Amino acid sequence: MPATDLSAKPVEEIASQLSAMSIEEVFAMMRQLEIASEEADVAGRDQVLSRIALVEEEIERRFPGQVLAPYRDWKKNHPLLQI
């Protein structure tokens, strides 16, 4: 997935793209949004959190009943992400 400012993308655009993404792309998007939420000021954090909720819903749709366990496992298996 190209590096873009996901917090600036319209929520509707992100939502329409999620179902066509590979799980690797969905997890990478979640990681980008996590980083953005840590760096966002208070005003921008709400925008980022609404996008995180969309991605969480997509992960739950793909892995019913597992909440975010597949994403946490993915992060553990990518040591370069542990910064």
pLDDT in tens, 23-48: 999 999 999 999 988 888 887 888 89
CA distances to 19, 64, 65 from 58, in Å: 7, 10, 12
Angle between helices 23-39 and 69-76 (to 10 degrees): 80
Checking if the pLDDT of 79 tops 60, the result is: yes
Checking if the pLDDT of 5 tops 70, the result is: no
Q: For residue 27, what are its two tokens?
A: 């997890």
Pick the residue with more confidence: 60 or 44?
60
- The reported pLDDT for the residue numbered 2 is 41
Q: Residue 30 class from Cβ within 10 Å (0-12 exposed, 13-18 middle, 19+ buried)? A: buried
Largest alpha-carbon pair distance within the chain? Answer: 33
Checking if the pLDDT of 81 tops 70, the result is: no
- The reported pLDDT for the residue numbered 43 is 77
